[in-house]
A and B are shown apart, each in its own frame.
Chain A
Amino acid sequence: LAKTTQPISMDSYEGQEVNITCSHNNIATNDYITWYQQFPSQGPRFIIQGYKTKVTNEVASLFIPADRKSSTLSLPRVSLSDTAVYYCLVGGLTGGGNKLTFGTGTQLKVEL
């Protein structure tokens, strides 16, 4: 399983764009990159998933360079409610055995 490395914590202010970078040097050819958000005492919630280049949805963008050894989650105009832990995971999409390894995540704190 590919191991990921993220910053332990980040601070930001409301209205700013936040970029969280994740390193995954030994990502496999069939691995996808997925980001989850977790609030205290709740289960993680899917944010975005991608394989290469750029993926955008209503809440975030995911940038993946050509070598796929890293990825960057971009949160536009964060608010206080975006204060949470963000996890970067890599793994396959197959229905069987797609166990995913969560790291310690990045604690994002958004202030006024």
Chain B
Amino acid sequence: ETGVTQSPTHLIKTRGQQVTLRCSSQSGHNTVSWYQQALGQGPQFIFQYYREEENGRGNFPPRFSGLQFPNYSSELNVNALELDDSALYLCASSSGTGELFFGEGSRLTVL
């Protein structure tokens, strides 16, 4: 079975720009969640998608948005980038057993 893959692995943006990060979930997993991890901190929950519907959201502003597709892959979109958005963005998929399978992350740098 294939694991969780994320793209791109690294990217640099400037303030005010928009970014789209992509995630392919592990085969058979219908739930995808996104996390933001700042340097030296634990991952912070952004939101979760279950069968193409958002069903949980953390304390992030509306400029953080997402999608889940019929094949359960997912996108995270961030508009109007700010310097504090610089972080490792992690995608995790699960099948409802409570075990999360994480990708390697996308490292975003905002200048």
Interface set of A (CB-CB < 8 Å, partner B): 32, 34, 36, 41-46, 49, 85, 87, 91-105
Kindly state the separation between the CA atoms of A45 and B97 in the bound complex, as whole angstroms.
15
The residue from B31, B42, B92 contacting A43, defined by CB atoms under 8 A apart: B92
The answer to whether B44 touches A102, judged by C-beta atoms less than 8 angstroms apart, is yes
Chain B residue at minimal CB-CB distance from A33: B98
The answer to whether B99 touches A34, judged by C-beta atoms less than 8 angstroms apart, is yes
The answer to whether A95 touches B96, judged by C-beta atoms less than 8 angstroms apart, is yes
Number of A-B contacts (CB under 8 A): 73
Main secondary structure of the interface of A (DSSP, over half): loop
Contact with A along B38-79 (1 / 0, CB 8 A): 000111110010100001101000000000000000000000
The residue from A49, A87, A99 contacting B99, defined by CB atoms under 8 A apart: A49
The answer to whether B101 touches A46, judged by C-beta atoms less than 8 angstroms apart, is yes
The answer to whether A43 touches B48, judged by C-beta atoms less than 8 angstroms apart, is no
Q: How many residues of B contact A (CB 8 A)?
A: 31
B94 at the interface (CB under 8 A from A): yes
B-side contacts of A34, CB under 8 Å? 98-99
The answer to whether B102 touches A96, judged by C-beta atoms less than 8 angstroms apart, is no
The answer to whether A99 touches B98, judged by C-beta atoms less than 8 angstroms apart, is no
B-side contacts of A97, CB under 8 Å? 48, 50, 55-56
B43, B44, B96, B97 interface centre (most CB from chain A within 10 Å): B43
A-side contacts of B45, CB under 8 Å? 99-102
A8, chain B: closest CB distance, angstroms = 11
